[in-house]
Amino acid sequence: LFARDVDFMRSAVSLETLPPPDLPEVCFAGRSNVGKSSLINALTNRKGLARASNTPGRTRELNYFNVDGRLFLVDLPGFGYAKASKSDIARWQILTKAYLRGRAGLRRVFLLIDSRHGIKPSDIEVMEMLDEAAVTYQLVLTKTDKLKKGQLEKVYKATQKRIKKRPAAYPNVMKTSSEKKDGLDSLRAEIADLALP
Ligand code: GTP
Ligand code: MG
């Protein structure tokens, strides 16, 4: 799927400017700076496709990518960025929450978690909201290159355990490194399963 055409399609700053839900859709959600945009670039093998940066709060809109005419991949703005202004946080909450709970065609939310930090209270808030809205989500541990193997296994097991009883959580947690290109094929396969044939 990702070896084919992947095109940036549009940025949406409001629910009204989202494209019509003509294709199945998956999105990358997570705290600011967890590596959402970098993971889109790594998956698609295109460096500057999604804008990644060291400055938390880089992605401000819902960025739509059309993957081979078979799926929309959406890069969301991050949450939990302490330095964001109150009005920005309010905007994130209104737009992204409305999107996450009500978007037609949204097949799965990939909730990215920095493997160094594990699940944070703001992640739990998002999971609770998705459980309540019955929107399936799958956790993806990012930046695994930053941990030693033993540490990573510990975080992985702890994370796996914490989602076990969550109703809308997809049972297997993924591990990725955009830097080292680890875990990308498994994630590509999960996403490809949700695309049009
Ligand atoms: P927002 O748009 O602000 O929410 O951030 P984001 O989640 O899109 O994060 P982004 O992809 O911009 O990456 C944030 C920082 O983490 C950048 O400096 C990346 O280079 C770095 N980063 C992302 N993925 C990895 C990874 O797999 N390994 C390492 N070591 N660094 C990474
Ligand atoms: Mg981003």
C-beta atoms surrounding 11 within 10 Å: 13
CA of 40 to the centre of ligand 2 (A): 9
Domain with 91, as residue range(s), is 6-192
5, 78, 104 from 24: Cα distances, Å: 16, 22, 9
Residue 197 falls within a domain, yes or no? no
ipTM (interface pTM) = 0.99
| pTM of structure | 0.95
- Please name which ligand lies nearest the alpha carbon of 177: 1
Kindly give the confidence (pLDDT) of every residue in the chain, 197 residues in length, as a single tens digit, with 9 standing for 90 and above. Answer: 887 888 888 888 888 999 999 999 999 999 989 999 999 999 999 888 887 777 666 667 899 999 999 999 999 988 876 677 788 778 777 888 899 999 999 999 999 999 999 999 999 999 999 999 999 999 999 999 999 999 999 999 999 999 999 999 999 999 999 999 999 999 999 999 999 99
Please work out whether the CB of residue 80 comes within 6 Å of at least one atom of ligand 1: no
* Most ligand 1 atoms within 8 A of CB, residue of 28, 32, 33 to mutate: 33
- How are strands ordered across the β-sheet holding 25-30? 6-12, 62-67, 71-75, 25-30, 106-114, 137-142, 174-175
User: What are the beta bridge partners of residue 66?
Assistant: 7, 72
CA of 44 to the centre of ligand 1 (A): 15
Residue 24 falls within a domain, yes or no? yes
3-state secondary structure of 107: strand
CATH number of the domain where residue 117 is located: 3.40.50.300
